[in-house]
């Protein structure tokens, strides 16, 4: 299962400052009277907890039981209230409607094809209240085609080691991340167990995303880059979209 092992060390390898960046970007582009947020692909719940701490009513969805287990423990430890739900963002029909829906950390890039991305957009549109806001980010084509290939990142502590190597995928604007983990089987001994995972991501052109959003009936589509309120350039690595129903 995707993220099965990654969930164990996810918070160790993620830059915590990114959550602050996502929170600040969201707050800058949400109407000030927004109260209810649905966060898609919530992972270990760091951003969901930040939303809750900032006064929002938060429902957070993820496909991974392992991620949601860690997220629930986090919310309890931090004393914040978040409703965590296991679910697929391609079908939000049973989750009610919301004033705002977010999907960050390039989670949409994990969709296997353009049809799946379109299905997410259609599903989000139906789950938004009239006048609601949808915000998400994806990797830029520059990031996938120029930055990621041959990328290598290694990280270790006393309890685990993490190796991340990226290679060009077979499809246009796709990338494959080979993740290898060495995790202590038992804190009392020095035996490590190896786990391997393959994460595949794909992105599309700005025009394609815009077309899919319009097809889902979104309006007032604004596009920004790299956590700023500036328009994308040819070297932007992360694209941000803010759309209205």
One domain, residues 122 and 196: no
One domain, residues 87 and 70: yes
Total number of domains constituting the chain: 2
One domain, residues 174 and 214: no
Per-residue pLDDT tens listing for the chain (245 residues): 445 556 666 666 677 789 999 999 999 999 999 999 999 999 999 999 999 999 999 999 999 888 898 899 999 999 999 999 999 999 999 999 999 999 999 999 999 999 999 999 999 999 999 999 999 999 999 999 999 998 999 988 887 888 999 999 999 999 999 988 887 767 677 788 888 889 999 999 999 999 999 999 999 999 999 999 999 999 999 999 999 99
For residue 6, the model assigns a pLDDT of 60
- What contacts 231, CB < 8 A, 6 or more positions away? 223, 224, 225
Which range of residues forms the domain containing residue 80? 6-140+204-244
Residue 71 forms part of a structural domain:
yes
One domain, residues 171 and 218: no
One domain, residues 162 and 89: no
pLDDT single digits (tens) 79-113 = 999 999 999 999 999 999 999 999 999 999 999 99
One domain, residues 170 and 85: no
For residue 192, the model assigns a pLDDT of 84
Residue 103 forms part of a structural domain:
yes
Residue 93 forms part of a structural domain:
yes
DSSP structure string for 90-121: T--TTS--EEEEEE-TTGGGGSSSHHHHHHHH
Residue 1 forms part of a structural domain:
no
- The model carries a pTM of 0.92
| CATH label of the domain that carries residue 152 | 2.20.25.110
């Amino acid at each position: 299962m995707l993220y099965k092992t990654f969930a164990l060390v996810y918070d160790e390898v993620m830059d915590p400052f990114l959550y602050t960046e996502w929170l600040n970007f969201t707050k800058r582009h949400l109407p000030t009277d927004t109260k209810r947020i649905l966060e898609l692909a919530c992972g270990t719940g760091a951003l969901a907890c930040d939303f809750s701490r900032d006064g929002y009513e938060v429902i957070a969805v993820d496909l991974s039981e392992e991620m949601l287990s860690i997220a629930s423990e986090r919310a309890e430890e931090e004393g914040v209230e978040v409703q965590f739900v296991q679910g697929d963002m391609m079908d939000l029909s049973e989750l009610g409607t919301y004033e705002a829906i977010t999907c960050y950390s390039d989670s949409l890039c994990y969709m296997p094809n353009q049809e799946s991305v379109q299905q997410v957009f259609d599903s989000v549109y139906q789950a938004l209240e009239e006048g609601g806001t949808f915000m998400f980010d994806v990797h830029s084509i520059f990031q996938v085609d120029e930055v990621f290939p041959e990328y290598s990142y290694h990280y270790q502590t006393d309890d685990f080691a993490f190796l991340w190597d990226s290679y060009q995928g077979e499809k246009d604007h796709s990338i494959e991340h080979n993740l290898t983990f060495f995790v202590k089987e038992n804190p009392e001994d020095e035996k490590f167990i190896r786990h391997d995972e393959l994460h595949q991501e794909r992105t599309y052109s700005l025009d394609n995303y815009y077309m899919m959003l319009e097809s889902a009936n979104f309006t007032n589509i604004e596009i920004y880059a790299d956590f700023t309120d500036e328009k994308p350039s040819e070297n932007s690595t992360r694209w941000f979209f803010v759309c209205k129903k």
